[in-house]
Every structure is written in C-alpha cells, then in structure tokens.
Structure 1
Amino acid sequence: MNREEELGHGDIEAALATRRELGARYDAELVDGFAERIERTVERRVADQVALVQGRTAGSEGGRIRQFVLGIIFVGVGIPITIVPMVAADNGLPAVVVAWLGIVGVNAAHAAAVNGNRRD
C-alpha cells in the first residue's frame, strides 16, 4: 500500500475542512466518499492477510506431500538395498543396517525441516 492509499488523521481533517467549506448540504457525498476509501483500504488489507495465510497453508501442504513422496521413494529404494547385500554377502546385515539408518536419517531431517517451516 503506498502513501496515497493510506488513510490517516490527515484524511479525517481534510474531510472535516471540506465539510466546513461546502456546508452541511454536501455531508452525504463527503461521508460516502470517505466510507468508500475506508472500505477499499479494509478490503485490501483483508485480501493481503488472506493471501498470506493461503501462502503459508500451501507451503506446509507442499512439505507434507514432499515428505510422503520421499517416504515412498525411500521404501522403493530400500527394498533392493536390503536384498542385494543379504544375497551377495555372507553377512550383509551391517550393510543393511547402515543403509536403513541413512534412509531414516534423511527422512527425519526432511521431516524436521518441513515442521520447522510450518511454524514460521
């Protein structure tokens, strides 16, 4: 909102000065004009607040969707990571544990980032 669009004390003084100059017969027009400016200002501020809230909501929804997709991808990747070391090595369990700890770590870090952004 620029300085010309803001309503303030000076606007009220100007409306009262105009009323003094023009007389009581123009009261309705002055009040209507001032009321329209107030309504436009209120509508603009409400629209700005709604856009801000919608932007925050959309951002947190996108984070949840990314987290879900990341989980699905890692489960898909984790299955071959589990099967290959178990079949190829005599004792592939340490490799599987390390791989799954990495998968859990990446998912936890992403979830923490998504939850951190949601609080902003």
Structure 2
Amino acid sequence: MQPYGDSELKKDLHAAVRTAQELGPDYESEVLDSFLSRLDSRLDANIAVRVQRELGRRQGEDAEAGPGRRGGFGSRFQYFSLVLAIPLSAIGGGTNGLPGLITAWLGIVGVNLAHSWSEAAARRREERLAAGSGRDGWD
C-alpha cells in the first residue's frame, strides 16, 4: 500500500463521503464504518506482508549465523547466567551452607529452563507465521 497518494484509496474515500452525504445523517455512520472496515482489512494485509518480509530477512540472518545461533541476547544468555552463578553460589553457600548453594543452583537452572522454553516457543511462533498458519482468531 502506498501512502495517502494511493488513487484507489482516494476513490474509495470520496465515494464513501459522497454516499454518506447523499443518504444523510441517518446512514452516515454505517457508510463510514464500512469504509473504515475496508481500510482496516487493507492495513492488515499490508502489515502481514511486512511481517512476512521481516521474518524472511531474519531467517536469512539466522541461517548465516549458523545452526543454533540466533544472535542477540538469547545466544549469550547461558554465558551471562554462568557468570552470575559464581556470586550467587558464593552468597547462597556462604550464608546457608549446602542448602543455600542448592537453592542458588536450582534458581539458576530454573531461569535457564524458562529462557530455553521461551526461545523454543518464539521459534515455533516464527515458523508458524512464516508458514502462513499464524492465524490466531483475531480477524
């Protein structure tokens, strides 16, 4: 869709305004609602095309990065959590001994599992959108 200079969109708007003027104030809101509904559908289609284009671009970048390397914070999260594990282990073990150390490591493992699951869910969501089956019932 081109910006406001799109002649088809202008024609539709002019036709809706003329129709609303001819039918009078009783039908004005229905005519304008119909135009806005068509405009909304057109915008949705435009957004879907842009999302598909962006997903394709990102998948191309991910393929260039190599298998399992998605880039960004997600690919460095495991290193970040291991760096944080050192002081967390020291604090947990120093204050509560073995139970504190176990608690600290259970927390570290839990956060890593949650992050891993969210990354996998995001990957599945992207794959569904790229395959065109990303409809979620909001249309």
Larger relative contact order (CA 8 Å, sep ≥ 6): 1
Pairwise TM-score range, normalised by the shorter structure:
0.3 to 0.5
The TM-score, its normalising length taken from structure 1, stands at 0.46
User: Greater CA radius of gyration, 1 or 2?
Assistant: 1
The TM-score, its normalising length taken from structure 2, stands at 0.41
